[in-house]
């Protein structure tokens, strides 16, 4: 088992290294002043549609203060907006602006193409299994 864990760590390290490089590349394509770490935040906002800051902070495992600063930066760039939460007017929901969504989708498209090409020879069942296992791993990680 320890050897298998080392193999998993080796592959995760390679995947994370590649992912960080892609995040830097995509972040600059979304906006020249976008911090590379904000790509993951934009991804969650794109997936969620609209979400409260507290819920997003919990989902990402970061403090509300840190996340609030990142969101403010994204608002300043015109990529994210805050709207009143319909269920609690004291709270706000975060979402991508139309421009943020357009820029994010345009920057993400080449990466999805790379993934598509890498997996094109895989049987559909294997692709589904990979997605399932990655989701399970991420859920277990925290």
Mean pLDDT for the chain overall: 90
Q: Mean pLDDT over residues 8-35, rounded?
A: 86
Per-residue model confidence as pLDDT tens digits over 72-113: 999 999 999 999 888 887 888 999 999 999 999 999 998 889
- CA gap 31, 69 in Å, rounded: 17
Q: What percent of the chain has pLDDT over 90?
A: 44
82 within 8 A of 96, measured Cβ to Cβ: no
- CA gap 16, 68 in Å, rounded: 25
Q: What is the pTM of this model?
A: 0.79
């Amino acid at each position: 088992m320890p050897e298998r864990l080392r193999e998993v760590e080796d592959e995760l390290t390679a995947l994370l290294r590649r992912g960080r490089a892609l995040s830097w590349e995509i972040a600059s394509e979304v906006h020249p002043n976008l911090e590379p770490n904000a790509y993951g935040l934009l991804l969650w906002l794109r997936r969620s549609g609209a979400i409260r800051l507290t819920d997003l902070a919990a989902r990402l495992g970061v403090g509300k203060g840190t996340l609030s600063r990142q969101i403010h930066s994204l608002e300043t760039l015109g990529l994210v907006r805050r709207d009143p939460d319909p269920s609690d007017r004291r709270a706000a929901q975060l979402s991508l602006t139309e421009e943020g969504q357009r820029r994010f989708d345009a920057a993400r498209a080449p990466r999805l193409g790379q993934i598509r090409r890498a997996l094109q020879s895989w049987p559909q069942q294997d692709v589904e299994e990979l997605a399932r296992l990655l989701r399970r791993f991420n859920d277990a990680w925290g």
